[in-house]
Structure 1
């Protein structure tokens, strides 16, 4: 019986390492330069941004996308000075001319990158959440041991 408890405890500790690794990352995400050099040289202006037809809702989506990519900005649907500065930083990191405005190609690249980042963040949270729920009690290795012990002891007394 002790061997079973010990084996389950070790298994729970090993399994809980995934929870420790699933936390928020402090490293910046990899960014890539635009694949098409024509896109990189096509400067974005107020006019090109107006052609996209960004409604207040779409502007919020852009702001959420920038935040998802690590460029924190206030999500209010307005492209004020702070948002323009964030767009400029995003353009700089992605090899675009730094204008603070978007064109259609940049908007698509930004939206696609934000969607991918959202998927990977969701998967990491889901993976961590699934592991955390299986250990009744606190998180980490101690919580996992407690969860394993709870399962074993509870299983013995239910018979």
Structure 2
């Protein structure tokens, strides 16, 4: 088996030697059209305006984390690190698009209020769901639940062995 692997390795090296000596390509390449500088300037200006609008809200690092947690709670996964990185911008864009806002990836004051209210409502419903699930869990741990049944069975077996 080792000899077969060694032979295949040698054949691969010999076969790829021709590729290594191929040199530079002499085929002509087609150049793509350069980007329109006016469009690039407009995009940069729009992004700067969006950034300024977001800056005017006055989002501290704590508030940015709250936005990221809110997005995650609403189903748009982000890391709550307090900086609006590419992942957060994409999540914001998807949230904006779903809500009918222009998908810029930047928040304005009205969108911030809507996002935080929706996240607060989602958190409230999450707490209610956990409470109702928790009450069911506590009941199942009582003496009549599965743990109590196992303990009772063990008591009967041990008691039967040792004559209790």
Normalising TM by the smaller chain, what interval? 0.5 to 0.7
Q: When the two structures are superposed, what TM-score results if normalisation uses the length of structure 2? A: 0.57
The answer to whether the 8 A contact 1:134-1:147 is kept is: no
How much has 1:146 moved relative to structure 2? 3.9
**What is residue 4 of structure 1 aligned with on the other side?**
none
**What is residue 133 of structure 1 aligned with on the other side?**
138
**What is residue 48 of structure 1 aligned with on the other side?**
53
**Using CA pairs below 8 Å that are at least 6 residues apart, which structure has the higher relative contact order?**
1
**What is residue 83 of structure 2 aligned with on the other side?**
78
Tell me how far apart the structure 2 counterparts of residues 82 and 54 of structure 1 sit (CA, whole Å).
Answer: 18
**What is residue 98 of structure 1 aligned with on the other side?**
103
- Spell out, residue by residue over 1:74-96, the C-alpha distance to the aligned partner (whole angstroms, 9 max, x if none): 11000011110110000000000
Tell me how far apart the structure 1 counterparts of residues 116 and 144 of structure 2 sit (CA, whole Å).
Answer: 38
Q: How many residue pairs are counted as aligned between the two chains?
A: 103
**What is residue 119 of structure 1 aligned with on the other side?**
124
Tell me how far apart the structure 1 counterparts of residues 144 and 81 of structure 2 sit (CA, whole Å).
Answer: 41
SS at match of 1:110: helix
Structure 2 unpaired stretches of 5+:
1-48, 151-164
- Spell out, residue by residue over 1:52-73, the C-alpha distance to the aligned partner (whole angstroms, 9 max, x if none): 0000000000000000000010
How much has 1:47 moved relative to structure 2? 1.2
The residue correspondences of 1:8-23 to structure 2 (distance < 5 A) are none
Match of 1:58 among 63, 88, 95: 63
Q: 1:147 to 1:82 in 2, by over 3 A?
A: same
- Spell out, residue by residue over 1:7-32, the C-alpha distance to the aligned partner (whole angstroms, 9 max, x if none): xxxxxxxxxxxxxxxxxxxxxxxxxx
The answer to whether the 8 A contact 1:65-1:111 is kept is: yes
Q: 1:74 to 1:148 in 2, by over 3 A?
A: same
RMSD of Structure 2 on Structure 1 (CA)? 2.5
Structure 1 unpaired stretches of 5+:
1-43, 138-142, 151-159
